[in-house]
Amino acid sequence: MIPESTREQILDALMRFDRELRDTPEWAGWEERPIYRYALVHEGRRYPVQQVIALATGGTTQGFSGGAEANGYVTQRGFTVLPLHPGETPNVWWVNQGGTYRNGRDGGFLWSPLVDPRGATLSHWTRMSDVRAGDVIVHYSSGSVRALGLATGTVYAAPQPVNFDEDRPATWNERGQRLDVSYHELTRAIPLDGISGKLQALAISDGPLNRVDGVKQGYLWRFSAAGLRVLREASDEPWPEWAEAALPAEPGMESNGWDEERFFAALAAMCTPAGLAAARHLYAYAQERGAKFTWNLGPMLMVMANLPAGGRSLPVFGLGEGAQDVGATWINFQYLVSGGIPKEALAELAAQLRLLPGVRERFSALEGANFARRPTLPLDELFSQPGTVERFEAAVDAFLQRVMQE
């Protein structure tokens, strides 16, 4: 069993690791060693989970196991754990949330009881312990898929969340288990009745559908990358990079995805010459700032600009295909907040961007959602006016400077 410690003690341990261990021969390049599968991610930096716990508790790494035990310990204290080798294929899950969806989304979690009123364990609850950091979760509620989720840790024991009682099934008791999740709510939910036939044809083992095209009674079910592909084909909006990466390659699709030349050739069909010029300007701006670009491996037209800031690489904005095949850029607030960027810095960025014409209404729900949003800005609509691109870039520059000062 891991000794008790507080969030503040873990924060102190992170600073101690940076100060005393990070640059030593023992820990140089630790992330590349196959023995380490997960990292605690804080303010854009990665830390070995077990070593941080040992520093926080004053013990060693010998008295407890890595993986689920260690990951659950730190996620329970509000930290994010992600896989070190995201090239490993993530599992895909389906959760039936019903009335508990709203509270789970707002709080960033899944929660279920440990046993039913008879004291029996049920497989659709015990599957929670099979979810690992980096897995993708499909969130279903009220007849539609409403969000995609990224598991940011592993399950841990937790009482029923505050304000959960009014929405949970009457048979649930208060002792339970929690899994922390980063939600990406879809702008347009995907109705089940339009895709159930395709999902039934996949015959997913322990999957969520019954034989009459409805969902099974139960909480968490296994899903598949092929099922995720069905959802992707039914959705016409940008998806998070981690969700796109979980999709299987389509037959005949080049495995290396997009590159600069093919990207801009395809984008030219989605916007006016002025919108295309704005996209090229933003791309060149990112290049000048030393960005590393992440090209989507799937069919959707998308590239992320990861901008350097104080030793970190931040996915501040992306370019590509918006709703209804319109060229767009989007601001990755949800990635930035889940990576530990202070909300004050995100609020300042949002305030500067709201000064641009047409942006204010697109950012209307941002703070209320704790920045767990990725608002899309159509290139033609917002960037065809003179000076708008330069003002956008100035706002991003000010944001990066603020982050480096933290």
User: What is the per-residue pLDDT across 184-241, written as a single tens digit (0 to 9) for each?
Assistant: 899 889 999 888 888 887 888 889 998 665 899 899 999 998 899 889 888 878 787 6
> What pLDDT was estimated at residue 251?
44
Residue 332's identity, in one-letter code, is N
- Both tokens of residue 161? 């969340």
pLDDT confidence of residue 42: 81
Amino acid residing at 26? E
Find out whether 331 and 372 touch, Cβ atoms under 8 Å: no
- Dihedral class, residue 161 (left if φ above 0, else alpha if ψ from -120 to 50, else beta): beta
Which residues of the chain are under the pLDDT cut of 70? 65-68, 85-88, 163-173, 211-213, 241, 249-257, 297-299, 338-339
**Domain 92-237 CATH (choose: 3.40.50.970, 3.10.590.10, 3.20.180.10, 3.40.50.1460):** 3.10.590.10
Q: Output the pTM of the full model.
A: 0.54
Residue 253: predicted pLDDT: 38
pLDDT digits (tens, 9 = 90+) for 80-137: 777 776 556 789 999 999 888 998 888 889 999 888 778 788 889 899 999 988 889 9
Strand ranges, E, within 276-395: 292-295, 302-309, 312-321, 327-331, 376-378
At 94 the pLDDT is: 97
Hey, what are 77's tokens? 């204290």
Interatomic CA distance for residues 355 and 161, integer angstroms: 38
- Delimit the CATH 3.10.590.10 region(s) of the chain: 92-237
